[in-house]
Amino acid sequence: HTLAEAFKEAGYETAHIGKWHLGDANHYPETQGFDWNIGGTHWGAPATFFFPYRGPFHEEIRYVPHLEGGKAGEYLTNRLTDEALAFIERPRESPFFLYMAYHSVHTPIEAPEADVEAYRKKLKPEYKHQNPIYAAMVSTLDKNVGRILEKLETLGISENTIVIFASDNGGFVFPYRNTGVVTDNFPLRSGKGSLYEGGIRVPFIAKVPGLTPSGVECDTQVSSVDFYPTLLDLTGIEISADAREVQDGVSLVSQLKDPDKSLEDRALYFHYPHYYFAPKTTPCSAIRKGDWKLIEHFEDEKVELFNLAEDLSESKDLSKENPEKTSELMNDLKVWRDRVDAQMPKPNPKI
């Protein structure tokens, strides 16, 4: 039972715009509770960010559908926002749910030349970030999020609209084609594809009219699995019995009201049994509980333990110094994997 299905059953008009990357055509947004799907396919990256959104990279199979009628030079992030504004402006009697999944700042690393040149002029040798194309992508994304917020204001519905901004993973820290190293997640270690903080620590920004205080930070660790119970709680929609049985997330309404409200006893689990830009990232699992974080590497059976309150950069492995904590978290992680029947990598007999 998806979030879109829950909202649709409650009378909301639902739309997905942008990246989907969650299965084949039998599992596209239209089959998961969305009335509208613009751009969503099984691919995670477009062939190009420029119209007609088809390019030499994988040619036709990575095109972004439902975006006909554009002009040469049209940029994908801008166009997706145009589609979102059109959806928001539609005459309707019912409320709406919009899942706005920008492809940016995913590869390919491309941006309008004028924006790239503006950041190229700002480069200095001492800067840790040296990719003006990526900077232009981030800037363009920021402007387009602003366009959506401005439209809510113009239509007079901003005080009756919940807005959540988040990302799916940390920045891409590897070189990309001829654009050089894409970004740096300092002080966080590593990046996309990794279970170090640089790969999994992302923004979570929420605006809930009448509930969230502005300009306040909350240090509580949360996860995207919390979106489902939180949004249904905020909108007064009851979670179905079937969904409640498999619900891993918790409602964050208390934390949105009071940033000092913690979830100290809660554990967060991460599982990535794959290689990503090997040998940079190898199959592993991780658990975060309070300030403690443990990573179990499957390839060499290495275990690392970090205290993130004291070592956010994960530079000092404390597993040997804290055998009891290591054993506790290892056991919790194994119990969780067994409970969810997590897929595990198998040794390659040819190696």
Mean pLDDT to the nearest integer, 148-176? 96
How does residue 179 score in pLDDT terms, banded at 50, 70 and 90? confident
| Tens of pLDDT, residues 247-276 | 899 999 999 999 998 887 899 999 999 998
Q: Is residue 262 part of a domain?
A: no
Does 157 share its domain with 252? yes
Are the C-beta atoms of residues 188 and 198 closer than 8 Å to each other?
yes
Tell me what pLDDT residue 60 has: 52
Range of the domain at 310: 267-340
Q: Do both 122 and 34 map to the same domain?
A: yes
Question: Is the residue at 351 inside a domain?
Answer: no
Query: Measured between alpha carbons, how far is residue 233 from residues 170, 209, 214, 313 in Å?
Result: 28, 14, 20, 35
The answer, yes or no, to whether residue 59 has pLDDT greater than 80, is no
98 pLDDT more than 60? yes
Answer whether residue 351 shows pLDDT above 80.
no
Residue 56 pLDDT > 60: no
Q: In whole numbers, what is the pLDDT of the chain averaged over residues?
A: 93
- Does the pLDDT value for residue 57 go beyond 60? no
Count of H-run helices and E-run strands, the chain? 9, 9
Amino acid at position 176, single letter: Y
Structure tokens at 36: 């509208």
What average pLDDT does range 31-55 have in this prediction? 91
Q: Are 11 and 96 in contact (CB under 8 A)?
A: no
pLDDT at 298 over 60: yes
Residue that has been written with the tokens 């003006």 in this structure: 132
Same domain, 236 and 317: no
Q: What is the pLDDT of residues 182-192, one digit of tens each?
A: 999 999 999 99
Q: Which two tokens stand for residue 332?
A: 């919790």
pLDDT of residue 2: 94
The mean per-residue pLDDT over the stretch 134-152 comes to 98
Among residues 216, 237, 257, the one where a domain terminates is 257
E strands, the chain, are 13-18, 36-38, 96-101, 163-166, 204-207, 267-272, 284-289, 292-297, 303-307
Q: What is the CATH number of the domain that holds 295?
A: 3.30.1120.10
Q: How confident is the model at residue 278 (pLDDT cuts 50, 70, 90)?
A: low
Last residue of a domain, one of 231, 257, 283: 257
What pLDDT band is residue 238 in, cutting at 50, 70 and 90? very high
Mean pLDDT on 139-162: 98
Q: What is the pLDDT of residue 323?
A: 98
As a whole-number percent, the residues of the chain with pLDDT over 70 amount to 97
- 253 and 282 part of one domain: no
pLDDT of 1 reads 86
Buried b or exposed e, range 165-198, using 16+ CB within 10 angstroms: eeeeebbbbeebeeeeebbbbeebbbbbbbbbbb
Q: For the residues 207-232, what does the mean pLDDT come to?
A: 94
- Res 296: pLDDT: 98
Predicted TM-score of the model (pTM):
0.93
Mean pLDDT of 58-76: 80
Of the ranges 14-18, 50-54, 99-103, which one carries the lowest mean pLDDT score?
Answer: 50-54
Answer yes or no: is 73 within a domain.
yes
Examine the fold and report which residue of 206, 230, 257 is the final residue of a domain before the chain moves on.
Answer: 257
Q: Assign 55 a pLDDT band (cuts: 50, 70, 90).
A: low
The total domain count for the chain is 2
- Give the three-class secondary structure for 12: coil
Which of 19-28, 204-213, 256-265 shows the lowest mean pLDDT across its residues?
256-265
Residue matched to tokens 């979102």: 84
Question: What is the mean pLDDT of the segment spanning 58-73?
Answer: 77
pLDDT at 62: 66
- CA angle at residue 292 from 291 to 297, to 5 degrees? 145
